[in-house]
Amino acid sequence: MNYKILDHTADACLRVYGKSFEELLKNAAKAMVNLITNIELIKPSKSITINIQGETNEELLVKWLQEILYYMEVKKMLFKDFKITSVTEKMVSGKAYGENIDLKRHDLLHQIKAITHHNLKIKKAKDKLTVDIVFDI
């Protein structure tokens, strides 16, 4: 498993792992979607392109997740797969693959209001990166 749910007061907190920053971004996105619904029931029949900029990897991570959350909330989509196409010090480009929400198949478990910066720090230990992400639900 590439993430685990941590106990946190009034919010949801996930510890996400990745062997690279790109993998960390993908795993964080999948973990966030899995908070919202069962990711296994999503059929990746559509894609969107995501381009974000930020000053730090933590800011890039939050903006990446915010963009995905925007499409879920405003465009009523859910995503299953993610591909990072380009990463620089201050930019991430990628794609998210999913479909429109179908309430007959997708049970919506939590509504995420925001991705917080609370204690957000990407840590490197041996051959993997770890980050704890707090979601306001």
Full residue range of the structural domain in which residue 93 is found: 3-136
Residues 90, 53 contacting (CB under 8 angstroms):
yes
Domain of residue 57, CATH code = 3.55.10.10
The whole-number average pLDDT for the span 130-134 is 95
**What's the total number of domains in the chain?**
1
**Which amino acid, 120?**
L
What is the per-residue pLDDT for 137? Answer: 87
Instruction: Evaluate if residue 111 carries a pLDDT over 60.
Output: yes
Query: Comparing C-alpha atoms, which of 94, 95, 96, 100 is closest to residue 78?
Result: 100
Q: 115, 92, 116, 113: which is closest to 20 by C-alpha?
A: 92
Residue 129's pLDDT band, with cuts at 50, 70 and 90, is: very high
Q: What is the pLDDT of residues 30-65, one digit of tens each?
A: 999 999 999 999 999 999 999 999 999 999 999 999
Residue 6's pLDDT is 65
**Token pair for 116:** 């917080």
